[in-house]
Every structure is written in structure tokens, then in C-alpha cells.
Amino acid sequence: MVHSDVCGACREFLEGIRSNVRLHCTLAAITAAPATETAAKRLRDQLVANRRKLARVLYELGRGFVLMGLSPDFSREVAKEPVPVPDVAMRGRNLLDEVKRSTGGAVADWVAADELFDGRLRSAEENLSKGQRLLTECLALESSMHEACIYLGLVHHVRGHRGAARRQFQQVLEQSSDRLMRGYALSNLGNIHLDEGDCDGAVRLLLELVESGVLPDHPKMSTALFNLAIAYGMKGEFADCLHWFQRLHSELPHKRNLVGRELARRSQFLHLVRTHPGATDLANGLASMFPHAELVMAAVPGQAAG
């Protein structure tokens, strides 16, 4: 959005999108009479279909750029199926070309920024910025596209804008009954509480996610087990912390190396486990379950490293 202030093409594109949304609302009001097979109804149906197609393209493209801008982080994983950004960009251009042809070029100003669909790879920060812009415009067209809310909230969280991130995830919880969408919202809200030091709030949200039963069908969501263990550990409830790490160890054996590396990054958690006299069993358990977690043992009183 900041870039659009100095880039005329992007500014025209964003204003065109907003104008298109206003026109949809106007047309819907004009043709709200009983649905008869009139030219106005056919036009409205076509515009609505185009809007939904464009919103889907904007979501897929925005999601692709967000994933390219994220650094690997086991505790904040999202669905990472391959996103063929150039292919999605081509679909966006084709749709806009189709709209121009079907209207005789009357919406030329609406498609002024074809470069938004160029599909070029950029730096991580540029990818996040472009992903945020695309997802914002997607939600301007289809506010109920909750998967876009999840990725937009993730961008805000990564950038340290926790309030904006929280609003996106809470909107999903308020509006969606889809278990997977709610699961991602609960997981990300739990992470925000954990980042803010509110371990009780994190535990409450993450337990709700586990109890929803979504984890067995969606292994990606099992990162919630890691975050739940960390939250209990930071609360000083080491037996519960060990319980969730044991579940993580037994349910995701292929993730043990990754979990060990993630543990090595958690300096505050490691310091607590190393120095707290009540954390010896937890330290021993982590060292035996996860590669790299032997680092936890290095400074535990009365224990030998290795």
C-alpha cells in the first residue's frame, strides 16, 4: 500500500478494484427485484462470477508470495503445498483480459496494473509486502474467504503487528464453522499469546485446538503440540510440558530432528530448563527424545552432558 503511493500503475489498479466493488454493490441493489431472466440479472451473475474468480486468483497468488517470504519456523507452520506463482499470475492476466474483451474495454482503468500478476520472485520482505497487498484486495472482494484471513494474519504476526494479526484470526473464529480454518486461527492466536508471555491464554486456545479432534486429519496442525509444551514449560508446569513433548515424539517421529533444532532456538525456554531444580526430568526426557536437545542437559545441575 505504501508502494502504491508512489507507483501510479498500482494505485490505479487498487482504485479500480475498489471501484469495481462499489459497482457490484450498486448493481446488486438495482437488481434486487425478483430474479427474472433479464439482461441485468445475467450481467449481475457474470460480474459476481468474475469477482469470485478474481478473489480466488488474488488469494492463491497472495498466499504464494507469503509462503516465499516466510522463514522456516516449525512452531508457525502453515499448509505449504506447492503454489505455482507464475501459473496463477497467468490465470489472473487471462481473467482480466477476458473481462476487458467482454466489456469492450470499458473497464480498462480497472486492469491498469497487470504487473501485479507478473509472478516474479523477490526478496523475502518484498514477497511479504506483495502477498499482504494481494490478500487485502482479495478480502475486499470476498470478505468471507477465511483462508485469506489466516495468511494475512500470519503476515501481520511475522511483522510484529500483533493487534492486526489478532483481528484476522478472531474474525475467522467468529464467522467460520470449518474445523480446519478454526484450527489454524486457534493455533496462530495461541502463538500470539505465547509471544506476549500470556502462557495461560496460549494453553487455553491450544487445548481447544487439540480437543477439536482436527490434528489426526491434518498433521501440519500438530505444531500446536510443540507450542503447548513450550507454554506449559514457561508456566513452570514441567510434568505437563514433558507430556506434550512425549506426544509430539510418539505421534510425529519424522519431525524429531526438526523439533530438536527448534528447541535449540528457544533460549528462554532452555535457560529455564537448565536452571530450574524441578526441571531435571524434563531435561533428561528432551535429551533422550530429540536430536540436538542434548544442549538442554549441558548446564543442568548434577547431570553430565551427553
Which pLDDT belongs to residue 187?
94
Three-class DSSP labels, the chain: CHHHHHCHHHHHHHHHHHHHHHHHHHHHHHCCCCCCCCHHHHHHHHHHHHHHHHHHHHHHHHHHHHHHHCCCCHHHCCCCCCCCHHHHHHHHHHHHHHHHHHCCCCCHHHHCCHHHHCCCCCCHHHHHHHHHHHHHHHHHHCCCCHHHHHHHHHHHHHCCCHHHHHHHHHHHHHHCCCHHHHHHHHHHHHHHHHHCCCHHHHHHHHHHHHHCCCHHHCHHHHHHHHHHHHHHHHCCCHHHHHHHHHHHHHHCHHHHHHHHHHHHHCHHHHHHHHHCHHHHHHHHHHHHHCCCHHHHHCCCCCCCCC
User: What is the block-wise mean pLDDT of the chain (306 residues), using blocks of 10 residues?
Assistant: 66 75 69 60 71 82 82 59 56 63 52 49 79 88 91 93 96 94 95 94 96 88 92 96 95 89 88 91 90 57 38
Which pLDDT belongs to residue 299?
46
Which pLDDT belongs to residue 66?
86
Which pLDDT belongs to residue 70?
79
Which pLDDT belongs to residue 56?
84
Which pLDDT belongs to residue 295?
54
- The pTM of this model reads 0.71
Q: How far apart are the first and last CA of the chain?
A: 52
Q: Does CATH place domain 2-213 in 3.30.70?
A: no
Residues of the chain within CATH 1.25.40 domain(s) are 2-213
Residue 79 to residue 299: CA distance in whole angstroms: 37
Contacts of 68 (CB under 8 A, 6+ apart): 85, 121, 124, 127, 131
